[in-house]
Chains A and B, each alone.
Chain A
Amino acid sequence: MAKADRISALVLFAVGAYWLVETIQLLRASPLREPGENIVPLVVSVALMVCSVWLFVISAPKKEEKEGRLFSNRARIALLLGLMVVYLALVPVFGFACSTALFLLLMLTVVEKYSWWKSLLLAAGVTTSLFLVFRLCLYLPLPPGPWGF
């Protein structure tokens, strides 16, 4: 955890510094500055940088401690995240219903190792139920595909 904490401290410091630069630019660009204008982002970005340094200091690795693996199953996570990215990219092309069915099918077969026929039934059942409830009963405007749903 110490190594991961140190890396997060560095990332957070960079975020704080970036926010500070942006805030200073905003303050410079504002000709009629009101009291309190952008003071919160200014204080918060400085505080984030200070806290990042604090986290970096307290997370110094101790010699006697051996670190375990923080992320135990990276392949599954990467696979699921990748599938979700593809899913969102496909929604504008194929619409909510088809993309969701495809996402669920791939998630259950590829990530969870379900059999194809079981995954196909589940994906079709879940998508149809969701479409019936939210689109046809509650009239929610879900993204349509080229075939209208």
Chain B
Amino acid sequence: MEIFGHDLLNGFVTAASPFNLACAFLGVLLGTLVGVLPGIGPTSGIAILLPITASLGPIPAIIMLAGIYYGAMYGGSTTSILINMPGEIASVVTAVDGYQLAKKGRAGPALSIAAISSFFAGTLSLVGLTFFAPPLAEVALSFGPPEYFALMVLALTVVISLSGKVLVKGVIAGLLGFLVAAIGTDPVSGAFRFTFGVPKLMGGIDFVVACIGLFAVGEILVNTEQAVKAVYDAKLGRLLPTVRELKDSLGAMVRSTVIGFFMGLLPGVSTGITSFVAYDVEKKLSKHPERFGQGAIEGVAAAEGANNAATSGAFVPLMALGLPPGPALAVLLGAFMIYGLQPGPLLFEQHPDFAWAVIASMYIGNVMLLVLNLPLVGIWARVALLPYPVLAGLVLAFSFIGAFSVRNSLFDVWVMLVFGAIGYLMKKLDFPQAPLILCLVLAPRLEASLYQALKLGNGSAAILFNRPVSLVLMLAAAAATVLSLWLSKKKGVPVGDED
């Protein structure tokens, strides 16, 4: 209870300062925009803006970047419901019933229920984050290098296992992430390696640059090939839902919050699959399952509630263990590190002001999002009118600025372009991108942990299996590998790759 009396209150005081409020507002505004606009997701949005926020200081910058992440979940529902074109993958399920409701002239209530459910689930799961993260961090305080190495192996194994349609492609994507991370300086000896005689590679490949290339430029290349054009012709109708519609959706909101929060804790489980599971549960529990797919408002509530709850849930492993469950949070983890903050068990102990201010800002950001999304829904819908070619040009220019600002180097912009081409090829060839980014971000820490563990064990890898916690984690990783091999033989289980 002490957390509520002291730390969280202090967090609210910090988050409520005018500058931090402005950053939170700008973050959720940009997040909503990212969610509304197709072809740009939260990962590329955060990556592009990360270097630009570098001068703000850690608390305002992370408040803004986190706002982009959870704001995108809100915004994604608008285009899903109005034009059957999800702005990001988490809103794919929302389109199933939302678009049917829009076609029946009930776009307004569908959008309102989506916003209310997002607010309800987002706020309730933040309470979960407030309660879960600090005790988990305390447990993790007893972890040494072997346990950390085993934990990262487990997380990456699960992410790779759940990514993409073909298991081996997920594994290859992860391995490529490790190869890219190896370029630059060896964390053990400090010697330069894999620089291919190019001096500018001595500093390594910056993960932000790689992210912008893979997710922003790669996506634009894919959409350019398909010659995407935006079309919007739905009418909103009345905006506020009736009491009956609210009553019908309440159960779905509660259930989807619980499902979304706990699924959000798991690495590799995308918000897309979380929405699908919550939607499926509602359909199974419904007295009229035949209405689902034809315009059931509780279907919209379930999908939107789940993806927003998962968003807050995903912050638990990030803040308590330093493990990002998906690519967008991997970029956020990188942002923490840019400011010299190491997410993990020590974060709540060494930087409580930072940790609690970010959590508090998310409560405030959720209220801002409700205000932004309910009355302004018509404006957001019109934003989707922006022709895709113009949007693509804008995103490419933003990507240039984002990549250049990392180290004020044109070389990084060329690297971004190379990664854009790689991202395009990966999409075309069905290689998931999430494992590449997660491995790229976690590889230096994994390599350092392994080195420290081997030093502790006098060069013997047996130390990874002698200590009970690391043994359990390594066995869990092995079990996840066996399970995914078995599942991939039975049937592909693509649940993880997302932007």
Chain A residues at the B interface, C-beta cutoff of 8 Å: 1, 4-5, 8, 12, 15-16, 19, 22, 26, 30, 34-41, 44-45, 47-48, 51-52, 54-55, 58, 70-73, 76-77, 80-81, 84-85, 88, 91-92, 96, 100, 103-104, 107-108, 111-112, 114, 122-123, 126-127, 130, 134, 138, 140-143
Residues of B within 8 A of A (CB): 52, 55, 166, 168-169, 171-172, 175-176, 178-179, 182, 186, 188-189, 191, 193-194, 217, 220-221, 224-227, 389-390, 392-394, 396-398, 400-401, 404-405, 408, 410, 413-414, 417, 420-421, 424-425, 428-431, 443, 446-447, 450-451, 453-455, 458-459
Q: How far is the CA of A77 from the CA of B169 in the complex (A)?
A: 24
Instruction: Establish whether residues B194 and A108, one from each chain, have CB atoms under 8 Å apart when the complex forms.
Output: no
A48 and B421 form a contact (CB under 8 A): no
CB pair B455–A36 under 8 Å, yes or no, is yes
Q: A22-B194, A44-B175, A81-B221 are in contact. Are A37 and B429 (CB under 8 A)?
A: no
Interchain CB contact under 8 A, B451 and A35: yes
Contact of A51 with B410 in the complex, beta carbons under 8 Å: no
Bound CA–CA A131/B172 (angstroms): 40
Q: Is B221 a contact of A77 with CB atoms below 8 Å?
A: yes
Cα A43 to Cα B410 in complex, Å, equals 33
Interface pair B397/A130, CB less than 8 Å apart: yes
Give the distance in Å from the alpha carbon of A45 to the alpha carbon of B178 in the complex: 9
> 3 closest A-B pairs (Cβ-Cβ)?
A35-B459, A36-B451, A112-B389
Knowing A34-B451, A48-B172, A85-B417 are in contact, say whether A126-B189 is a contact too (CB < 8 A): no
A40 touches B414 (CB 8 A): no
Do B454 and A35 have beta carbons less than 8 Å apart? yes
Question: Contact partner of B401 among A52, A92, A142, CB < 8 A?
Answer: A142
CB distance from B482 to the nearest CB of A (A): 16
What are the residues of chain B within 8 A of A16 when measuring CB–CB?
Answer: 175
- The answer to whether B393 touches A122 (Cβ under 8 A) is yes
From B52, B429, B458, A8 is in contact (CB under 8 Å) with B429
Q: 15 A-B residue contacts at CB 8 Å? A: A4-B429, A5-B429, A19-B179, A19-B194, A26-B193, A30-B189, A36-B450, A54-B168, A55-B168, A80-B220, A84-B420, A91-B410, A111-B224, A126-B394, A143-B410
Identity of the chain B residue whose Cβ is nearest the Cβ of A22 in the assembled complex:
B194
Are A134 and B446 in touch, CB under 8 angstroms?
A: no
Most buried by B among A16, A35, A88, A134: A35
User: Which residue of B175, B401, B410 is within 8 Å of A88 (Cβ)?
Assistant: B410
B430 CB contacts on chain A under 8 angstroms = 1
Contact of A104 with B194 at beta-carbon distance under 8 Å, contacts A34-B188, A41-B182, A143-B410 already known: no
Closest residue on chain B to residue A123 by CB atoms: B393
Given A44-B178, A45-B179, A92 contacting B410 (CB threshold 8 A)? yes
